[in-house]
Chains A and B, each alone.
Chain A
Amino acid sequence: MRRNQVAVVGAAETTKLGVIPDMSQIQLHADAALNAIADAGLKLSDIDGVATAVETPQQIAHYLGITPTWVDGTSVGGCSFMLHVRHAAAAIEAGLCKTVLITHAESGKSMIGKQPRSTPADSLNGQFEAPFGVYGPPSMFPIPVLRYMKTHGITHEQIAMVAVVQREWAAKNPRATMKDPITVEDVLNSRMIAYPFRLLQCCLVTDGGGALILTSADRAKDFPLKPVYILGIGESVESPMVSQMETFNSSRAFKVAGPLAFKEAGIAHKDVDHLMIYDAFAHLPLFGLGDLGFMPHEETGKFIADGNTRPGGKLPLNTNGGGLSYMHSGMYGMYALQESVRQMRGIAPAQVKDAKISVCHGVGGMFAASGTIIFTNEK
């Protein structure tokens, strides 16, 4: 993909976030999609590309009344939407479609119109992980943490600071689910979920959705709001089984996707004004800082504990409050993308002054997949 040839011209979340007991999952998709279409000043009939995850593109296209010429149903977990952005950008550049709608929604809390996740007993996960008592992401995602901490010299207090700092950002955001300040002691005394992680180091469980609209950069200038250009993108996958990662000292999927995006963007790490790293659990920002090349893994814990990512710090990170404090419907990548777009438009509740480049990094499954998008508001 060439730099800055495709732009985000519409972006919106569902009207409500949090607990939404009066909407099914597919209606949450529609609510977010209609908000994004209105944000872009478009009509439904202008959309000729549809991408979504978990639900199929045909479910979303039919429900909304769209007749697409291009669809993408890539469903690799919470970073699916980062991959959709990459695939949509390539499709727009190739002339397969002009205006792509990407939707996410999840009735993660209310569970209305949502298929429960299941692991077939004859799948590899069903044979070689499920019998040992894994039961949902809190029992799986933190499995690498103790090894990561031992190898890189990271402390429990440093990882607790991830939650503390993100709560500081959430306090500035009226739509954040959790806004009350917390301390390292609060984190380390909260209820144990899966040692070494406690409640405040695990993501929220909420309802919500979001949608993006992409088109070519030459058309983007005719839209009502400032376009947000796509400067570089990367993607990769590793293993659906956390036990089969190449190493617990880093993520191979992160290490492929991140550098691909930086190389394509042609920027250095010091050029980054704003950073989102999908934080389903508190260790992910550490893995992200290291694997995306911001610093050696050994320095990630100290970097966050020293306050570099908090409001006023030199590398603002997860400025909506993240999956730990803003919201987490189950597939949070869309909300990270929404915050990057708000920051590039200059309309975020906790706006980073003069931010010109935003890096948005997502994870899918338990380090199973990854997508990195680098946005800019300057062409």
Chain B
Amino acid sequence: MAEAQRARPKPTPETQHFWDGTQAGELRLQRCDACDHVYFPPRPFCPSCASRKVSIFKSSGKGKLYSYVINHRPAAPGFTPPYAIAVVELDEGPRMMTNIVDCPQTPEALELDMKLEVKFEKLDDKITLPLFHPAKG
């Protein structure tokens, strides 16, 4: 029996640029041309002022650890417990769910507000996930 796989995202027309970005090694966000609001998840309009004039730009990929759990049970397919499910707050403002890699999955190692940087993990030919690791230096 094949090993259970991690859930794969399936892009839609509105989110394709984000998943194209992770494959190209870029974390892409959107900014409203009318009111400058930066937002996530992707939409072709501004959820702050409803303008359809929005631009896609490359995020710095830097942020800090906003909150997390360390999941023990039940574990999602493709995950070995215990593993942290985290929310990172990007320097540009938006928050996103992620996993923290290159770091022990313990409360001692995972300090709130620690600095993080994006690290891309290729799942297959179509999907690369944005994960985060502790910032160097």
Contacts and interface: CB of A to CB of B under 8 A. Distances in A.
A and B together in one complex: yes
A312 interface: no
Contacts of B10: 120-122, 126-127
Contact of A121 (B9, B73, B87): B9
A63 interface: no
| Dominant secondary structure at the A interface | mixed
B95 A128 contact: no
B59 to A, nearest CB: 14
Interface in A173-229: 191-197
Contact of B66 (A132, A134, A248): A248
B12 A128 contact: no
A167 B78 CA distance: 36
A149 to B, nearest CB: 9
A269 to B, nearest CB: 28
B41 interface: yes
Interface in B32-85: 40-41, 66-79, 82-83, 85
Contacts of B11: 122, 127
A121 B7 contact: yes
Contacts of A133: 6, 71, 75-76, 78-79, 83, 85, 99
Interface of A: 119-122, 124, 126-136, 138-140, 142-147, 150, 191-197, 241, 243-244, 248
B82 to A, nearest CB: 7
Contacts of A150: 112
A130 B19 CA distance: 15
Interface string B1-16: 0000011111110010
B66 A128 contact: no
A136 B85 CA distance: 13
A195 B83 contact: no
Contact of B8 (A121, A128, A132, A135): A121
B96 interface: yes
Contacts of B118: none
Interface in B12-28: 12, 15, 19
A248 B97 CA distance: 13
A143 B95 CA distance: 13
A131 B96 contact: no
B97 A128 contact: yes
Given A122-B10, A195-B82, A128 B96 contact: yes
A191 B73 CA distance: 10
B116 interface: no
Nearest to B73: A193
B41 A128 contact: yes
B71 A139 contact: yes
A192 B70 CA distance: 9
Given A131-B8, A135-B76, A144-B67, 16 more contacts: A121-B9, A127-B10, A132-B86, A132-B99, A133-B85, A135-B74, A135-B79, A139-B69, A145-B69, A147-B66, A194-B72, A195-B107, A196-B107, A241-B41, A241-B97, A244-B95
Contacts of B95: 243-244
A134 B72 contact: no
A139 B70 CA distance: 8
A23 B26 CA distance: 52
A130 B9 contact: yes
A122 B66 CA distance: 26
Contacts of A195: 69-70, 72, 82, 107
10 contacts: A122-B9, A122-B12, A127-B10, A133-B83, A135-B75, A135-B79, A139-B69, A139-B85, A145-B69, A191-B73
A171 B74 CA distance: 29
Given A142-B69, A143-B68, A194-B69, A124 B74 contact: no
A24 to B, nearest CB: 25
B129 interface: yes
